[in-house]
Each structure stands twice: as C-alpha cells, then as structure tokens.
Structure 1
Amino acid sequence: MQRLKKIYLEKIVPSFMEHFNYVNIHQVPKVQKIVINRGLGEMYQNSKILNLSIDELSNISSQKPVVISSTRAISGFKVREGMFIGISVTLRRDKMYAFLDRLVSLALPRIRDFQGLNIKGFDGCGNFSLGLTEQLMFPEISFEQVIHLQGMDITIVTTSKTDKEGRFLLKELGVPFSR
C-alpha cells in the first residue's frame, strides 16, 4: 500500500470526520485522479521532441501518455487538423498516490526559491491546478538527456464539494501552500 494512501486512511479520514462533522465515512473527500498535461507549443513539427517528451512524461508518471491531436485547423497558429499538439496522462489509484508523494516530497522542494503553492489554484469545486515551468525538478529526469525545457500542468481532482474541504485534504496530504 502506498505511503500517502495509508496516511489518508489512518489519519486524514478520522480528522475529516471530526473537523467537518461527517456521519458516514463515504462523505469524506478523497483524491480521485491526477491529470498531467504538456503542450508541445511550437515544437509540434519536430517528431524527435515529441518522442522525447513522451519518454520524459512516462518516466515521471510511470504510465504511457496519450498524444492529443488538434480537432480543427487554426491558420493563425499554423496548426492543421490532426497535428499532434500535446500529451496527457491520467493517474488513478496507486500510481496517483505514488506520483503525489514524489511531487510533494521530492520535486517541489527542488524548485529554486520555492515559497509554497498559490491557493488561487483552486477552481471552486475543490480541485487544484498548478503549473510547473520545467521538468528538471523530478529526479527521474537526467540533465544530460534534456534538449528543451518544457513545463507541464498538473491538476489534482478531488471529490470535495468546496475549496475549503479540498485545501484541508491536500494540506493534510502534505502539499505545501503559501501563506
């Protein structure tokens, strides 16, 4: 069993039931999934960078990403219908808890001048989104293999109904928020 899942079941669920006065254990919010997105930007024409980006994201998430293609042509961005414009990974269950544990304990502390995540990343329904500017903060990525620095968007989807519940859940899981 993953470390964060064990912490959730043993410590967070009882504290949630006490703090929010829940009667049933199924009312307690939980992390449903984590979605990692990476847009290719102007490098959509280079298939080598697409393959390297797929390899990096699969090393980070331990799951093969899905390549996203454009649904329509946009001439202002020189995008044609069917071009590969991004990659995405959806993590659930044990892989989700393993990624969240690595993100909180290894990757975020490696960011230079890190002061915590902005609370404004909540969407009103308890889901949290954050953007990372580079992939070098993950220990799975070696500096020598990186050709181009690319960021990624990470969305943590919870079953909570309000931002207060979502913030309490993520703070108990160890996500560092700024003051």
Structure 2
Amino acid sequence: MQSNAYVPTLKKTYLETVAPELRKSLGYANVHQVPKLEKVVINSGLNASRDKNWVAEVQKEITSIAGQQAVVTKARQSVSNFKLREGMNNGVAVTLRGTRMYDFLYRFINVALPNIRDFRGVSQKLDGHGNYSIGISDSTIFPEISHDTSGRESIGMDITIVTSAQTDKEGRELLKQLGMPFRKPSSQAAANTAN
C-alpha cells in the first residue's frame, strides 16, 4: 500500500540532506544523536490593562501566522508595579510541533525574514542549551497579515525554536543547515562565539 502522506519541504530537507551532513560533520556514531527540531513557541506579551478587543485581535493574528489556534495566557501571580492581578490576560501563545512546526519555520526563514526592512541576517546568539529565540517587532512581515495597519499599533512577538542539541554549536549548525540567515560575525564576536 502506497502512502501519499504530506511531508513538509523543510522536514524533507532535514531528513535527506541536513541530518546526514550533521552526522558526518559532528562525528556522531548513532543517528539518534543528531540534533533535531522539537518545537517552536510563538509568544506575544500583552499589557494587562488593554481591552478585550485588543486581546482578541492579537490572538487572531498569532493564530493566522501559526496556522494553529493560539491561547490567551493568564498571570500566575499579582505584580503591583505592573498593575497585574492573578488571572488577568497577559499574553497570547502557541506551541507548534510536527508538520505545522516545519511549515511555519519554512515560511519564517524563506518569506518573513527577508521582508524585514534593511535585513542583514539574524544574531548568532543561542541560549546556552542549543535553543534559539528571536524577537519580531512588526507582524506585517508575515504574508498572512494585512499591510493595512492604519489606526492600530503593530503586534510584536517572540519566536523560540527548541532543538534537541546539547550545545550552542550543534544548535547553530542545525539552524544554519536548515537555512537560518545568520549574520556574519565580526572578528571580535567570532572569537567569542568560537569559545
């Protein structure tokens, strides 16, 4: 019986090209040691005092960008300095895995990032555990979002790519092979990154 199951372009690239290349370049004996993508988390923080219409607008945009229903996150504890009470809305988040994760990352790397004005690449800094986070200040870089932003402010978000890599070097190499357009480091930064 032949299976016609849909395989995302980025996943196909990972399985056919990236994984064998990483296994060879990083010297892994076992195929299960090769770092892989685990999930992508998209998060947009909200001012707790904003009205419900704004929360719904942010949720709608994040949902259309991710291709999966976003959830409104609630404050776990009260913080008086931020006028935040326990249970108030303080963000919108969505976690992508599997096919949706690969589809989103493909669109993000190949369509959204090049839409940033004066784009020269993204930072090479990872979190120390092989995971990568990037802040986006304007959601209109995504083709799903209308460019008619008159009368409303832009929605920003943080995108975190979680990998199974043990070190930043492995994580950076995985993302680079998948097409992440990292900035060329300056000579001083390159010396720090190599360490």
Matched, 1:175 2:173: no
Q: Which runs of 5+ in 2 are unaligned?
A: 1-6, 185-195
The count of corresponding residues between Structure 1 and Structure 2 is 177
Q: What code does the residue aligned with 1:71 have?
A: R
TM-score (norm 2): 0.88
What 5-or-longer segments of structure 1 have no aligned partner?
none
Q: CA deviation at 1:173?
A: 0.3
Q: Which has the larger radius of gyration?
A: 2
Alpha-carbon distance, 1:145 to partner: 5.9
* Residue 168 of structure 2: aligned partner: 163
Deviations 1:35-87 (A, max 9, x none): 01100126x43111100111000000011111111112222211111110101
What is the TM-score normalised by the length of structure 1? 0.95
Write out the 4+ residue segments of structure 1 that deviate beyond 6 Å after TM superposition: none
What aligned pairs does 1:23-42 form with structure 2 within 5 A after superposition?
23-41=29-47
> 78, 87, 93: which is aligned to 2:83?
78
Aligned-residue sequence identity (percent) comes to: 47
Partner of 1:118: 123
Report the secondary structure of 1:150's partner residue. coil
Match of 2:24 among 18, 33, 42: 18
Match of 1:141 among 145, 153, 158: 145
Q: CA RMSD in A?
A: 1.2
SS in 2 for 1:123: coil
